[in-house]
Chain A
Amino acid sequence: GAVVSQHPSWVICKSGTSVKIECRSLDFQATTMFWYRQFPKQSLMLMATSNEGSKATYEQGVEKDKFLINHASLTLSTLTVTSAHPEDSSFYICSASPPRVMRETQYFGPGTRLLVL
């Protein structure tokens, strides 16, 4: 199956600093990647859709200036949490879809645990 990686797997930072999370599709090219956030014992919440070569599409209620997304290549999307605060502590997961017109699916990365102190 398709493989998606994330880096780092966990990060601890001080309040007010920025954190960058990378998402890579290792064995396929992805024109679209997705960023989710998951709080303990809850389901995945879509934050934004990352489009290669164009601006990301953010879900309602997600601040685009706080969660900067850059999809610079067909295998890499980055999420930068700017001026992080304790309430941004969460599990961030990316996903990507191999280019299949009729049988789309999404493969997820292993997630990044962010703790803001």
Chain B
Amino acid sequence: GQQLNQSPQSMFIQEGEDVSMNCTSSSIFNTWLWYKQDPGEGPVLLIALYKAGELTSNGRLTAQFGITRKDSFLNISASIPSDVGIYFCAGRETSGSRLTFGEGTQLTVNP
């Protein structure tokens, strides 16, 4: 089956630093989604990408749909303590098919 590799697994940064994480797939995706999950909560959608090369921002967050359609990255600028959480990428191969999730990136921000 398809595989989705997300890296890094964890990050420990200082408040104010920028963060970058990425996902790569063994398959071509037509949708990339980025979620954040806080402890004991469901994932919250951050950014949705639907087109190769698409670059989308949501506040301090920026994500891009790789032109090969097999990768995506998420950047967080000027991190703050409330950015702490687990970030998941998810991709979909075709319309209506299931999402495949990455293993998550645990982000810790030290004040």
Contact = CB atoms under 8 A, between A and B. Distances in A.
Interface of A: 1, 4, 6, 34, 42-44, 46, 49, 91, 93, 95, 101-111, 113
Nearest to A59: B98
A102 B50 contact: yes
A104 B98 contact: no
**Is the contact region of chain A dominated by helix, strand, or loop, or is it mixed?**
loop
Contact-size category for B: 20 to 34
Contacts of B33: 105-106
B35 A46 contact: no
11 contacts: A4-B42, A34-B98, A44-B88, A93-B43, A103-B48, A105-B48, A108-B45, A109-B42, A110-B41, A111-B42, A113-B40
A106 to B, nearest CB: 6
Contacts of B83: none
